[in-house]
Structure 1
Amino acid sequence: MEERIKQYAETIKEKGVSKSNKRKALNLIRYAEDFVIWHKDQTVVEECQRIISKWLNDMGLELKPSKTRITHTMDGFEFLGFNIRQYKVGKNQSKQGFKTIIKPSKEKISEHYEQLSLVIDRHKAAPQEALIRQLKPIIRGWCNYHKTVCSQEVFSKIDYMLWNKLRRWGYRRHPKKSKTWVNSKYWGTIGEDNWMFKTFEGNHLPKHAKTEIVRHKKIQDTRSPYDGDLIYWSTRMRKYPEMTTQKGKLLERQKGFEVTVR
């Protein structure tokens, strides 16, 4: 599919533009059966939709209308659980006159909070430690997936919602106790944070906002995990089947430069 779109790109009529630059100007990003295409000319995007529809029809498949739409990047779109949108900015902020912001989608935020709420509701009478044990992997998994984009504000918002939910959980368990008593029983201080949901033994619930934002590094076009370049993949991933974890971390710190001491 990608190559069919790139072949079409070469036929686009645009004066003074080489075929290679035409191919670069028409972008297609695909993950499994989900994909997004963008180009500065809407008619080009519409033609791509027609080409892909025909390509799929030849295999007995079709585009799902409910998941297919054409939109402007300034309006934004959803892809793989993220909201991708461009915003106008001054020329001193960006030579292009806009910047691209990627955030977790509202749908995925809602789904995540509902999942956390369901776990809490199912553990109304369970010990605090058991509740933490159930919530912890859900929070870490969601944060790890979304930590490569602009998620800090979203992480803080979810923490606030979760804090309110957990406080209600605590108040319902001890209706005859004061809120101050309940707060001191289920929350404590770790470092400079006075509102950590934690047990007396120190087992605590991680906060979304404590997750470090790590920008995604695009894989070079010519790279493959099977190309045998241990230094490149260990620098990128830290972990690689043919490289020890310790050496992978060392290569990352050295930005890929390997030093041999004799």
Structure 2
Amino acid sequence: MKNRTIFWDILDWDQIQQYVFKFQRKIYSASLLKERSRTQFLQRKFLHSKLLRLWVTNQVIKFQKKYVTSFERHQIFLQLHNIMQMKYNKEDSEIIKEGKILLIYLILNPEWEAYFSIQKHNYSFSIKELVRKINHIASKKYSSLYIIKISLEHQIDLIYLSTITKRLNTFSLMNDSVNHILKSGLIQAYKEFITRKFFILQYNERCNLKLSLLLLEALFSEFSTIFCRYINKRKLIETTFQSTVNCQYVRYLHNFIILDPEKSRIEDLRVLLQYWLHKIGIKKRIKKPRKLSKSLNIELNHYLIIKKSIKNTSIYPSKYAQTYLLEIISNITRKMRNASLILFVHVISIVLKCWKSYFSICNCSEIFNKLDNMIFQKIRAWVFRRHSNWSKDSIKQKYFAPIIDIKYYKRLYTGNWILSTLSSSKNLDTTVMVVPKLRWHNDGVNFNQTNVSNLFHLNYLYRYGMYSKLNIL
């Protein structure tokens, strides 16, 4: 390998991909059987694999905007070997850093995916499942129901990095490599992303976000073990008094929710959660359990869940999510004053589709209509600013031509004053590009990409496949 030139175009990438997934399947199976020594042995062997470094180099180059020469590819391949000297130099280029992060992610992901599959009952794989689960719990008839809810969105960067590496409990070389990457600001970048771009997290394929999400999931899963031990002890005690334990614990990303009809039990859990948060470095105070009345009102991950009765539950986007969407549209109209119409429609469509897909379970047509009107006013101002000397009829004919029976996913829509343009691109399904309305239905939309928020999408025992590129429009 050292004395040979690597010809990237003639390599059998399908065969290399099968090798990578086959090795990940072995790690997954060993972890699933709780064979700790065998899991670490396979991870070490996987780390020293040259085919893995070839695969990582190819995947990192694939998403680069600039052209990468053969010499640069070979240098990246050789630099990935530096992870075995436990070095993570600041002078390394961004592409090499991404390669090292992806390399560590591919090694650690199968082990923790197996662990999460065992602890499946304490997790919600998507925000939609979490909302439905809370709605189902709250619909049960209890004489009283108490809730503890805490979000660590703004405290993630306060976590002690040593607690993350300690939780991984892997071999020393991997621990040191993860520690170097964490010190380079991996968690801070993740915090900034989930604060400002929460609704596109599940469609993003950046390596640093994948690894950040995996490490935080591994750390936060520690409290589920504490919770299960406490509940098992309470069950042993309360079975002698012929009482049942109806405590429910759910978590999605950095959101923790505990529901229990008994106040003393949920108080104990609040103390345990507070102690565990102090242990990992978060000093945030948890409020006392709140008693839920017949009307449930919970704000979670920019969702607002309002339950007025057993059969009447309303789910809305939070006020922050609505304001932030309008802020994004304003920034686009301001920064793209002289952009082409096709590019403008393309960017606006991606933002609106991602935002609506995130809030697709919301049953609030009035809010969507209100946001559509506000967005239309901003787009209308952008158009009239471009052609201040044109008449209203000329602008309407060029930018807002009436559309008749245009297909948007599985439905046909007819409308007036909708920004549209003709496209000559062969990659698009239709020659007409429009800015979609939020009130239009896109339920059941399956984007053609990996869902980052769902760590359990890939079953290594049965499936082989590639990560596909993001293709929204």
Report the TM-score, using the length of structure 2 for normalisation.
0.39
**C-alpha displacement of 1:42:** 4.5
User: 2:139 matched to 1:139?
Assistant: no
User: 2:315 matched to 1:102?
Assistant: yes
In the other structure, the counterpart of 1:208 is 438
Higher relative CO (Cα under 8 Å, sequence separation at least 6) belongs to: 2
Deviations 1:61-102 (A, max 9, x none): 33524x8675455352221221123213xxxxxxxx454333
In the other structure, the counterpart of 2:418 is 196
In the other structure, the counterpart of 2:303 is 82
In the other structure, the counterpart of 1:61 is 281
State the one-letter code of the partner of 2:420. Answer: K
Pairing partner for 2:250 from 5, 22, 29: 29
State the one-letter code of the partner of 2:417. Answer: W
Contact 2:314 2:364 in 1 (8 A): no
**C-alpha displacement of 1:154:** 3.5
| In 2, Cα distance between equivalents of 1:45 and 1:63 | 20
In the other structure, the counterpart of 2:429 is none
Residue correspondence of structure 1 range 11-30 to structure 2 within 5 A: 11=234, 16-18=242-244, 22=245, 25-30=246-251
Contact 1:187 1:198 in 2 (8 A): yes
Contact 2:336 2:344 in 1 (8 A): yes
Contact 1:149 1:213 in 2 (8 A): no
DSSP 3-state at the match of 2:417: strand
| In 1, Cα distance between equivalents of 2:350 and 2:287 | 33
Task: Give the total of aligned pairs.
Answer: 212
User: 2:227 matched to 1:5?
Assistant: yes
User: 2:382 matched to 1:169?
Assistant: yes
State the one-letter code of the partner of 1:141. Answer: C
DSSP 3-state at the match of 1:29: strand
Deviations 1:209-244 (A, max 9, x none): 2232349xxxxxxx985385x7xxxxxxxxx646xx
State the one-letter code of the partner of 2:395. Answer: V
State the one-letter code of the partner of 1:27. Answer: Q
Contact 2:372 2:439 in 1 (8 A): yes
Residue correspondence of structure 1 range 141-156 to structure 2 within 5 A: 141-150=354-363, 152-156=365-369
Change (3 A) 1:26 1:143: same
Change (3 A) 1:214 1:76: farther
Identity of aligned residues (%): 20
Higher helix share: 2
In the other structure, the counterpart of 2:459 is 226
Change (3 A) 1:225 1:128: closer
DSSP 3-state at the match of 1:203: strand
In the other structure, the counterpart of 1:93 is none
DSSP 3-state at the match of 1:84: strand
CA RMSD of aligned residues (A): 3.3
DSSP 3-state at the match of 1:142: helix
| In 2, Cα distance between equivalents of 1:105 and 1:8 | 34
Report the TM-score, using the length of structure 1 for normalisation.
0.67
In the other structure, the counterpart of 1:251 is none
In the other structure, the counterpart of 1:50 is 271
State the one-letter code of the partner of 2:330. Answer: S
| In 2, Cα distance between equivalents of 1:134 and 1:55 | 43
DSSP 3-state at the match of 1:78: strand
Stretch of structure 1 that moved more, 165-174 or 197-206:
197-206
Unpaired runs of 5+ residues, structure 1, are: 89-96, 216-222, 231-239, 243-262
| In 1, Cα distance between equivalents of 2:283 and 2:321 | 23
User: 2:324 matched to 1:111?
Assistant: yes
**C-alpha displacement of 1:140:** 1.7
In the other structure, the counterpart of 2:77 is none
Stretch of structure 1 that moved more, 191-200 or 34-43:
34-43
State the one-letter code of the partner of 1:61. Answer: G
DSSP 3-state at the match of 2:416: strand
**C-alpha displacement of 1:164:** 1.2
**C-alpha displacement of 1:158:** 2.0
Contact 1:167 1:183 in 2 (8 A): no
Change (3 A) 1:241 1:55: same
State the one-letter code of the partner of 1:140. Answer: K
Deviations 1:29-58 (A, max 9, x none): 11233211222344543332111112333x
Change (3 A) 1:164 1:17: same
DSSP 3-state at the match of 1:209: coil
Deviations 1:94-136 (A, max 9, x none): xxx4543332211112112211111011122322222112212
Change (3 A) 1:70 1:158: farther
Unpaired runs of 5+ residues, structure 2, are: 1-222, 406-413, 424-431, 446-455, 466-473
DSSP 3-state at the match of 2:401: strand
